[in-house]
Each structure stands twice: as C-alpha cells, then as structure tokens.
C-alpha cells in the first residue's frame, strides 16, 4: 500500500502534471487531510487551488468550493475536466433545468468538486441537496471577504457561516492571498471555528514597486500613456472610479493602444468579452475598477498601474500582486496625487449600517412576522426598499448575533425577542462606528506607503507583520534612487520622461501632413514640443502627445 505522501505525489504527477508541491502547499494539504479546520494565507500565484483539488480527490465524498467569482469557477471546472476530475458549478449562470440536473447529479454523488457562490448557499433547495449529500470538505476561497476587517468585505459571505453550520461538522479550508492578523482572527470568529493558520508570507522578489507623483489628472494621463508605451507585455490599469476608468480607457484607445475596459456598470456580456480578450492576449492593457481581477489567473501580467490609491494596503497588494504570477519580473506602479485621498474618504462614508438602519431592519422584520410569519430575505428587502441590500444583510446579522433574531433551516428570519427598545438596537451599530475608524487608519497607511522614503516592500511587509528580518528589497524606487536625489528631480520644471520625449519627438509645423494610430491622417493645426493638435478629414480637431504623431 502506498503511503499517503506517495499517493499525493502520484495524483500531483499523473492528474495535474506537476513534479512537486510548492512552499506551503504540502502543509495545507496535510492539515486538510487530517480533518483540521485550516486557513491558508498564500500569495497570488502560489497555487492555492491545488490545496483543495488534491484533498478533493483523496477524500471519498464531495468537496464544496465557495467562491465569489463566476469566471474563476468556469475556469476551474474546465481545468479539472481536462485533468479527468468531475466538477460542476452551481450558480446564477445555470437555467432552471440545468440547476435541477446539477442538484440531481450532486445528490447522486457524481461530482468530486462542486463550485458555488455565497449567494447560492442561501437557496433552500440547494442547501437541502448539500445536506443530503456526503460532503467531506468545505472550501472558502477569497476568505478575507467574510471579514468586516478585510478590505473587500462582502455581506453575501455572511451566509456562508450559516450554511456551514446547517451542513454539520464539516472540515473547513479557508483560502486567501492576504490577511492581517486582525482579519485572520475575524475569519475564525465569523466561521465559529478554531483555524490552523498556514501563512506562506507575501514577499515576492520579482515584484518591483514604484510610486509616481502627479498633481493633476492631465499629468496622470500623460504618465499612463508613457507607461503604456515603455512597458512591455500585458498589464492592468486600476482606477478608483468608473468615470476615471472610462477616461483612461479612451485616452489609451485614442493613442492606438490595444486596450479593454472593465467595470461594474458594463453589461455582463461586455464584461465577459472584455475579460476573455484580455485573458487570451487579444487586448494588451485592461483598464478597470476593482470589479476586475478577483481570481484572475493570467500568469504573464507584466505590470499593474494604479491610477488612484485604493482604500487599503491589502487591496493595493492584492491588485498589484496580479502581476508576475509566472515569477518573471513585473512592475507595480502607483500614480499618486495627494487629492486622491478624498475619493477614498468618500467611499468610507455610508459603507456600514448605522443605528437607524438597524432599527429599520428590526421594525420591518417585526411587521412582516406579525403579518405573515417568518420573513424571507426577499420580503425584507422589498419592505426596506430605501436601504441598500448590503446594509440590510449586515443589520440582520447584527440582530442575529445579539440574539434578537434567528434564521431557520429554510433561511427565513424570525425575531426571538419582539420587545427590544430603540436605544438598545441603536447600540448594535456602535461596532460599525469603530470599524469606520479602523478603515480610516488603513487609508492613512496606504497614504504613508505612497509618501514614504522607505523601501516599499518593507512598508508592505510591516503592514502584514512580516518585516522581522527584512532590510530592503533593492528593487523599488526608493531603494534604487535614494529620496535626496529625487528631490532634485522634482525641482526641475518638467519630469525627465517629458524632457526625453521632447528631445526625441519630431517637431511639427502648422499644415504638416501627419498620421496617428487609430485616427489615420490629418493636418497639424498647432503644436508644441509635447502636444500636437490635428484636424482630421471629418473636420474634428483632436490633441495628441507628439510622441504618437508621425509624418504622413
């Protein structure tokens, strides 16, 4: 009989085609196979999925994987199918007939791995099927989303804990790329499990960090255009708002770059097309809000540019870390304007439910319950039309945690105490006041990173409490150019790249015939050493950086 280690080796080679496990993977797999509740903190690209795929094949029953991202599921199901492993996704992309067939297959034990979304776990029929199936591992991907202290808290993740409880005493594997110790503690608390934490560290020597200062949007756009020109390979430009994403996208498109756009307000089909084009290399640069990327599995992203600061260093690291997953050199560049802080401060307001929201949730539940018995989520949402769904979910969770409400096996809500006074209810929201304060401090750390003269990696590692013996990376802008030198550069009237561009750019005169990418030929109306205004045959005038203009 082969030992367990030999059996795992065999699966690794024959099913997945790898010769050995990477750092941390073996530990995680061993912990899971010993039925320990485990939290694996592994950097993007460290091979998180193998940590559940291998146990899934070595355990007799079905493994359930909860993930917030549909594209990731589709990807994983296909990959597993290629490896000869039966897997299925149960989510909103299935129609009623497909969903029914899926549940039937799951109940019959046909699948090794079932992928699903946190939202789906609140579907009673699905939950019932899972309750009746032999499941022996419950995996939560992007587990930081369950924590209020995380940078990417998603109320739908609160459903996971409830579903998990209703499935009995299943071993849990939680996976995340980044988590501070507060988030690690909170994941355990939210799941009501004592987790064995396996943290493989966040440092990746191939990631090179840099911050470029700018004082207005025009400067930033010029930086983005220049970076797109000088950086090879594919990359992502992240913006904090949809409006900025559109502006940056248009600027790059007009400069003739191969560019795609991705944000939450595009239609699902447009988003899918955009993502597929980027993944397949048909489009080189993706301009996106943070709606893009969770679970993006493209190994050869060479650069990630942030057009604005995100709200936390966790978000910054996670987004930057999508570059260079193949281990080759990759760059993470932050364009920083001190005024960007305001955008993030705006997002901080109104993120959590306040006292009024909690009171409203309570009173609504009381009303529905007295009229028609325990309330469904849909009923409550309809009755609190003015309140964002996210806030309602959190408010209901607060009521449950305080012991004033309960959710039954069909996931209906019921008050267990109908006489709670407004003042007591208001206090439940207090914790969220403290969370808002914590969020503010996180934003301050992000700003510190942008303004620091210290090694950027050192600042990141300190934030994640991993800096112990780390001195400097030797590759970030601050390591390469000591700040004293940089001050001189700031004093010069134009940045070096602009001077270089100006020196190399041809000079144009009014009336010259010229050509630009995408727009074709036109006539120069006016020009400076950096910019050229061109009239096109349709009579419209457009401006271009002179570096993009050539004589026709």
Helix orientation angle between 389-401 and 355-372, rounded to the nearest 10 degrees: 80
Residue 477 C-beta: closest distance to Zn ion, Å: 8
Instruction: Identify which of residues 421 and 468 has a Cβ nearer to Zn ion in the complex.
Output: 468
334 near Zn ion (CB under 5 A): no
Segment near Zn ion (CB under 5 A), from 30-38, 143-151, 418-426, 455-463? 455-463
Segment near Zn ion (CB under 5 A), from 133-141, 299-307, 468-476, 524-532? 468-476
245 near Zn ion (CB under 5 A): no
User: From the list 12, 135, 228, 476, which residue makes contact with Zn ion (rule: CB under 5 A)?
Assistant: 476
Residue 463 C-beta: closest distance to Zn ion, Å: 14
Residue 211 C-beta: closest distance to Zn ion, Å: 11
333 near Zn ion (CB under 5 A): no
CB-neighbour burial class of residue 538 (10 A; exposed 0-12, middle 13-18, buried 19+)? exposed
Please name the residue that has the structure tokens 């134009």. 494
User: From the list 455, 461, 534, 549, which residue makes contact with Zn ion (rule: CB under 5 A)?
Assistant: 455
Instruction: Identify which of residues 279 and 467 has a Cβ nearer to Zn ion in the complex.
Output: 467
12 near Zn ion (CB under 5 A): no
Residue 467 C-beta: closest distance to Zn ion, Å: 12
Residue 7 CA to residue 55 CA, distance in Å, equals 11
Rg (CA), the chain: 26
Nearest residue to Zn ion by CB is 455
Give me the torsion for CA of 311, 315, 320, 322, rounded to 10°.
-150
Instruction: Identify which of residues 227 and 473 has a Cβ nearer to Zn ion in the complex.
Output: 473
Give the bridge partners for 62, in sequence order.
Answer: 135
User: From the list 145, 285, 473, 549, which residue makes contact with Zn ion (rule: CB under 5 A)?
Assistant: 473
User: H helices then E strands: how many in the chain?
Assistant: 22, 20
List CB contacts of 488: < 8 A, sequence separation 6 or more.
none
- The pattern of x and - marking residues 197 through 216 that bind Zn ion according to CB under 5 A reads --------------------
List CB contacts of 345: < 8 A, sequence separation 6 or more.
443
For the chain, give the longest Cα–Cα distance: 84
Instruction: Identify which of residues 476 and 532 has a Cβ nearer to Zn ion in the complex.
Output: 476
Instruction: Identify which of residues 187 and 476 has a Cβ nearer to Zn ion in the complex.
Output: 476
Give the bridge partners for 413, in sequence order.
Answer: 375, 407
Take residue 419 and report the two structure tokens written for it: 């006489």
173 contacts 137 by C-beta, under 8 angstroms: yes
Residue-wise burial string across 265-283, b where 16 or more C-beta atoms lie within 10 A, e elsewhere: ebeeeebebbbebbbeeeb
Residue 171 CA to residue 138 CA, distance in Å, equals 6
Instruction: Identify which of residues 446 and 498 has a Cβ nearer to Zn ion in the complex.
Output: 446
Kindly report the backbone phi and psi dihedral angles of residue 364, in degrees, each rounded to the nearest multiple of 5, phi listed first. -65, -45
Size of the site for Zn ion (CB under 5 A): 6
Instruction: Identify which of residues 100 and 472 has a Cβ nearer to Zn ion in the complex.
Output: 472
61 contacts 72 by C-beta, under 8 angstroms: no
Segment near Zn ion (CB under 5 A), from 145-153, 373-381, 390-398, 447-455? 447-455
Residue 458 C-beta: closest distance to Zn ion, Å: 6
Instruction: Identify which of residues 207 and 245 has a Cβ nearer to Zn ion in the complex.
Output: 207
CA distances from 60 to 54, 57, 134, 136 (A): 12, 7, 9, 8
479 near Zn ion (CB under 5 A): yes
Instruction: Identify which of residues 213 and 351 has a Cβ nearer to Zn ion in the complex.
Output: 213
Instruction: Identify which of residues 77 and 479 has a Cβ nearer to Zn ion in the complex.
Output: 479
Binding stretches for Zn ion (CB under 5 A):
455, 457, 472-473, 476, 479
């Amino acid at each position: 009989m082969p030992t367990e280690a030999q059996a795992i080796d065999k699966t690794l080679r024959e099913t997945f085609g790898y010769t050995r496990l990477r750092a941390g993977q073996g530990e995680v797999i061993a912990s899971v196979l010993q039925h320990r509740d485990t939290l694996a903190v592994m950097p993007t690209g460290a091979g998180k999925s193998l940590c559940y795929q291998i146990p899934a094949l070595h355990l007799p029953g079905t493994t359930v994987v909860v993930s917030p991202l549909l594209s990731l599921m589709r990807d994983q199901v296909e990959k597993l199918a290629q490896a000869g492993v039966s897997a299925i996704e149960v989510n909103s992309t299935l129609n009623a007939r497909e969903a029914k067939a899926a549940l039937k297959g799951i109940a019959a034990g046909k699948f090794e791995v079932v992928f699903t979304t946190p939202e789906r776990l609140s579907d009673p029929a699905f939950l019932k099927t899972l309750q009746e199936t032999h499941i022996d591992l419950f995996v939560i991907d992007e587990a930081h989303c369950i924590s209020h202290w995380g940078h990417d808290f998603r109320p739908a993740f609160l459903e996971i804990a409830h579903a998990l409880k209703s499935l009995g005493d299943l071993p849990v594997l939680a996976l995340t790329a980044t988590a501070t110790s507060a988030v690690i503690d909170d994941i355990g608390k939210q799941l009501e499990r004592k987790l064995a934490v396996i943290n493989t560290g966040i440092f990746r020597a191939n990631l090179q960090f840099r911050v470029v200062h700018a004082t207005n949007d025009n400067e930033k756009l010029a930086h983005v255009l220049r970076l797109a020109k000088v950086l090879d390979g594919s990359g992502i430009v992240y913006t904090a708002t949809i409006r900025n994403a559109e502006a940056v996208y248009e600027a790059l498109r007009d400069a003739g770059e191969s560019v795609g756009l991705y944000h939450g307000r595009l239609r699902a089909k447009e988003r899918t097309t955009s993502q597929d084009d980027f993944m397949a290399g048909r489009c080189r640069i993706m301009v996106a809000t943070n709606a893009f990327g969770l679970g993006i599995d493209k190994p050869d992203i060479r650069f990630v540019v942030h057009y604005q600061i995100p709200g936390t260093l966790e978000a910054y690291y996670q987004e930057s870390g999508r570059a260079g997953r193949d281990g080759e050199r990759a760059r993470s560049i932050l364009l920083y304007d001190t005024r960007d802080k305001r955008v993030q401060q705006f997002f901080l307001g109104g993120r959590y439910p306040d006292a009024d929201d909690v009171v409203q949730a309570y009173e609504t539940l009381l009303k529905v319950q007295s009229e028609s018995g325990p309330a469904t989520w849909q009923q409550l949402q309809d009755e609190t039309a003015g309140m964002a769904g996210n806030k309602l979910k959190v408010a209901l969770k607060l009521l449950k945690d305080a012991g004033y409400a309960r959710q039954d096996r069909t996931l209906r809500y019921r008050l267990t105490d109908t006489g709670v006074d407004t003042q007591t209810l208001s206090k439940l929201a207090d914790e969220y006041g403290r969370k808002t304060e914590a969020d503010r401090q996180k934003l301050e750390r992000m700003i510190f990173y942008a303004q620091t003269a210290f090694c950027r990696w050192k600042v990141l590692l300190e934030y994640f409490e991993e800096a112990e013996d780390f001195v400097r990376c030797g590759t970030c802008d601050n390591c390469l150019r000591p700040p004293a030198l940089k001050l001189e550069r700031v004093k010069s009237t134009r940045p070096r790249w602009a001077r270089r561009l100006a020196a190399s750019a041809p000079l144009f005169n009014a009336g010259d015939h010229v050509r630009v990418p995408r727009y074709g030929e036109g006539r120069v109306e006016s020009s400076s050493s950096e910019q050229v205004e061109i009239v096109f045959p349709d009579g419209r005038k457009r401006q271009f950086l002179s570096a993009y203009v050539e004589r026709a």
